A and B are shown apart, each in its own frame.
Chain A
Amino acid sequence: MKLKQRFKKSLPKLVTVSPVSIWLLILIAIPLVYVLVISFASRSPSGGIEFAFTLENYGKLASADYLKIYGQSILIAFFTTVISIFISYPFAYHMANSSKTKRTILMLLVIVPFWTNSLIRLYGWKTILGTEGVLNNLLMDAHIIKEPLNMLFTTPAVVLGMCYTLLPFMILPLYASIEKLDRALLEAASDLGAKRIHSFFHVTLPLTSPGIFAGSIMVFIPALGYFFVSDLLGGGNTMLIGNLIKNQFNTSQNWPLGAALSIVLIIVTLILVKIYTKVGGKIDDLGVA
């Protein structure tokens, strides 16, 4: 009787929630489990998967060559994150303090490029940065430089592409946190004798730090994995963790190793999100775009 009642009560929930659950199950949970399983399998000589439990793949991850790539990738992701913060914060701050119409326009400016394939937009950067590219031609014509600069296929070019691709992920959580900031607190600070700069460092910055953290997670993690950015703008000179994973699934035909790498990346992500919620961040604020 009781069970029946409880079932009846939760039935509407089940009906509405379950399609989503099934969807998530098919698209996310099952592939994830599959990746997890093959990360403990081994590569057959022909490039297939041999299902025999082994930790060998995880052992290989610590090799010196790989460690170098992790280091480089983390460095690139770090710079991408820091540069994104410095570009996004003033923008988000300005947006949050604008009139409603201006806000909408700025928001569209951030989001609309999103609707275009990022590969196409990165190709755009290629034509700008190349030796025969727009920027070099411009600088040469203006006689600022004599020789074309070597900008494309460098690590800074990769960082630039990363920042460009991931900027909205930084702007949106920052905007959300700045917009939420109670203006009365800034008035209170001013009332108590704080100049604008002091109000910023004592009130605005600490109270919007969850937004900075959220944006950093949203930028840092993809920056480790977006192999196509380094493919296009790094020309294969810069290896990211993402390239490493892609290569295992592609050229090396070593799916188990690629799977193990992916699992480690997922665990790192989960740890960062956990830290984020521990310091008071909200999962909802991460769920942008």
Chain B
Amino acid sequence: MKPMVEITNVNKYYGDNHVVKDVSFSIFDGEFLTMLGPSGCGKTTTLRMIAGFEEPTNGSILVGGENVSDKEPFERDVNTVFQSYALFPHKTIYDNIAFGLKMKKVKKEEIKERVTEMLSLVQLEGFEKRMPSQLSGGQKQRVAIARALINRPKVLLLDEPLGALDLKLRKQMQIELKRLQKKLGITFVYVTHDQEEALTMSDRIAVMNGGILEQLGTPDEIYEKPKSKFVADFIGESNVFEARVEEVQKGALSLRTETGTVTAKNDACVQNEIVYISVRPEKLQFSEKEVEGFHLTGVVKEHIYVGSFIRSIVVLQNGFEVKLNRLAGSDLPPVASVTNLYWEKEHAVVMHSRQHQIFSLIDNVDLGEHYETETAL
């Protein structure tokens, strides 16, 4: 596949504030790529640099093999769907959608034809004469998409386009957007802070944190093989343990956490290295007896029924709460009993840490709520 957008060593400073840090990645032709990360991590800034609203402090951006550094937004084959829609309030829906073609001096008949085509594509036939203020949020969003797509851009940039919609509409629009993208084969660069949205829609995800590109990969890779503690925490739910490598056997690691020993598959670790181990709640297991390679016990705090599965909370000796997801109807140890915990060693993801001080923190975080502080590291 050939790259449609190539971002190379791009940095962006606002004054002293370094908001995009040496980011490099390529986006393939026809790909649906999502930039995912907590608020303030530099997603919008990166997108705006591709669109041409911001200039990189240094580094280069190529679109379709062509350096766009000194091109104005109106000279780039790229269109944007703004989070706030940014529809022209004084123009009808027809004129909003036709705007780009009018600027290109396309013939009236052709404009009419293409606007009609766009309106049917976003299922807004008959809305030509309405004003933006007469539309609902979801409809405005469709107009914004039609207004951008009518120009047949090489790349469509979307900055949290569904952020303002309610959950149900958002789910529906996710499917529609994906369908549109497949049908048209246009490269989509999509920005969101919603990991679920990213996982369901994207061909690949670029996870960003504090201006750094943490990991770029398919949803599968990002979910199953997070490369950093941040990614493990941010994507889905995970139990993250900090541990020291005690022993490296062939293929397996014996690891010591603050509250006991555990086992994982070896992934280029050396003895005494400090690592993070991430285990998804659905991969963590209860056991009455101690399992070989594991010595990890805790007290069952509660079982919560969450629809089709049960969420169990187990408190470790250091007070730490571990989450397990079990199918409803499974055998569960009673509340207040002591239980052994273990996992199949291929279900634990081992991540190298740059730290040397062990047990400074062992945590267990839900989604992405706490990262603002952590990015300071």
Q: Are A184 and B79 in contact (CB under 8 A)?
A: no
Q: A182-B86, A207-B90 are in contact. Are A192 and B53 (CB under 8 A)?
A: no
CB neighbours of A185 from chain B (8 A): 86, 88-89
Interface residue A36 (Cβ < 8 Å from any Cβ of B): no
Determine chain A's interface SS by DSSP, over half rule: helix
Q: Are A184 and B82 in contact (CB under 8 A)?
A: yes
Shortest B73–chain A CB gap in Å is: 4
A109 to B182 Cα, complex, angstroms: 57
Interface residue A141 (Cβ < 8 Å from any Cβ of B): no
Q: Are B73 and A190 in contact (CB under 8 A)?
A: yes
Q: Which one of B80, B84, B87, B90 contacts A191 once the chains associate, using CB atoms below 8 Å?
A: B80
Interface residue A202 (Cβ < 8 Å from any Cβ of B): yes
Interface residue B100 (Cβ < 8 Å from any Cβ of A): yes
Q: Are A188 and B74 in contact (CB under 8 A)?
A: no
Q: Which one of A187, A189, A192, A202 contacts B151 once the chains associate, using CB atoms below 8 Å?
A: A192
Q: Are B103 and A191 in contact (CB under 8 A)?
A: no
Q: Are A188 and B103 in contact (CB under 8 A)?
A: no
A25 to B90 Cα, complex, angstroms: 40
Contact with A along B70-85 (1 / 0, CB 8 A): 0011100011101010
Q: Are A193 and B100 in contact (CB under 8 A)?
A: yes
Residue of B nearest to A207 (CB): B90
A198 to B104 Cα, complex, angstroms: 11
Shortest A155–chain B CB gap in Å is: 37
Residue of B nearest to A206 (CB): B90
Q: Which one of A182, A193, A206 contacts B103 once the chains associate, using CB atoms below 8 Å?
A: A193
CB neighbours of B74 from chain A (8 A): 190-195
Instruction: Specify which of B74, B90, B151 lies most central, judged by the most chain A CB atoms within 10 Å of its CB.
Output: B74
Interface residue B51 (Cβ < 8 Å from any Cβ of A): yes
Q: Are A192 and B79 in contact (CB under 8 A)?
A: yes
Residue of B nearest to A185 (CB): B86
Shortest B102–chain A CB gap in Å is: 8
Interface residue A265 (Cβ < 8 Å from any Cβ of B): no
Interface residue B99 (Cβ < 8 Å from any Cβ of A): yes
Contact with B along A21-43 (1 / 0, CB 8 A): 00000000000000000000000
CB neighbours of B148 from chain A (8 A): 191-192
A217 to B191 Cα, complex, angstroms: 46
Interface residue B147 (Cβ < 8 Å from any Cβ of A): yes
Tell me the residues in window 191-248 of chain A with beta carbons closer than 8 Å to chain B beta carbons: 191-195, 198, 202-203, 206-207
CB neighbours of A207 from chain B (8 A): 89-90
Q: Are A192 and B89 in contact (CB under 8 A)?
A: no
Q: Which one of B52, B72, B99 contacts A192 once the chains associate, using CB atoms below 8 Å?
A: B99
Instruction: Specify which of B51, B86, B87 lies most central, judged by the most chain A CB atoms within 10 Å of its CB.
Output: B86
Q: Are A188 and B86 in contact (CB under 8 A)?
A: yes
CB neighbours of A189 from chain B (8 A): 88, 99
Q: Are A190 and B72 in contact (CB under 8 A)?
A: yes
Residue of B nearest to A280 (CB): B90
Q: A188-B80, A192-B151, A193-B151 are in contact. Are A198 and B88 (CB under 8 A)?
A: no
Residue of B nearest to A209 (CB): B90
A189 to B72 Cα, complex, angstroms: 12
Contact with B along A133-145 (1 / 0, CB 8 A): 0000000000000
Q: Are B51 and A191 in contact (CB under 8 A)?
A: yes
Residue of A nearest to B99 (CB): A192
Q: Are A202 and B99 in contact (CB under 8 A)?
A: yes
Shortest A39–chain B CB gap in Å is: 41
Shortest B5–chain A CB gap in Å is: 16
A174 to B376 Cα, complex, angstroms: 44
CB neighbours of A206 from chain B (8 A): 90
Q: Are A194 and B86 in contact (CB under 8 A)?
A: no
Q: Are B103 and A187 in contact (CB under 8 A)?
A: no
Can you offer 8 A-B residue contacts whose CB atoms are under 8 A? A185-B89, A188-B80, A188-B82, A191-B74, A192-B74, A192-B148, A194-B103, A198-B103
